[in-house]
């Protein structure tokens, strides 16, 4: 084996993996990151939902304590964030479903779907909370 063969098989001949210095930050990249974050946030929100259900099953005093917290400003802020995370993650799932069908891969549609994902999740969250306060 010659020295040239060794150099070609060594680290210098390996292709470089793409990294953040190569890519320009884009809407689709941001939505991918936020999709992962909202997925993790949904775990926390689901745990809060489980706590609420367990408190409801445990008795009136436990339920009243959890209800008091959820009715506070911090509780409502958490619930608002959970609602947004749920809507954002759902719309991101729809976006991925569209991609799974082989649609929306061209540049303009990718960016449009990413923007719709963000703006739609905000609009749906506000709509849900407005309807909640109207019905309540």
Report if pTM > 0.85: no
Looking at the chain, how many residues does it have?
A: 136
Q: What is the mean pLDDT of residues 73-92?
A: 96
CB 35 within 8 A of CB 27: no
Residue stretches of the annotated binding site for heme: 89
Q: Specify the DSSP class assigned to residue 111.
A: H
Q: Tens of pLDDT along 88-114?
A: 999 999 999 999 999 999 999 999 999
Residue stretches of the annotated binding site: 89
Predicted pLDDT at 38: 95
Enumerate domains of the chain plus CATH numbers.
Answer: 27-135 (1.20.1300.10)
84 pLDDT higher than 80: yes
Residues 6+ apart with CB under 8 A from 89: 35, 38, 39, 42
CA dist., res. 98 & res. 102, Å (int): 7
Q: Tens of pLDDT along 44-76?
A: 999 999 999 999 999 999 999 999 999 999 999
């Amino acid at each position: 084996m010659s020295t040239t063969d060794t150099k070609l098989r060594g680290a210098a001949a390996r292709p470089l993996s793409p990294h953040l210095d190569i890519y320009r930050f884009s809407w689709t990249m941001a939505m991918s990151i936020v999709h992962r974050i909202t997925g993790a946030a949904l775990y926390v929100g689901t745990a809060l939902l489980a706590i609420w259900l367990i408190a409801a099953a445990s008795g009136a005093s436990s339920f009243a304590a959890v209800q008091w917290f959820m009715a506070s400003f911090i509780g409502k802020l958490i619930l608002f964030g959970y609602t947004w995370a749920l809507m954002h993650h759902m719309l991101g799932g729809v976006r991925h479903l569209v991609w799974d069908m082989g649609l929306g891969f061209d540049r303009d549609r990718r960016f449009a779907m990413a923007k719709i994902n963000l703006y739609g999740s905000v609009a749906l969250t506000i709509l849900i909370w407005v309807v909640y306060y109207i019905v309540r």
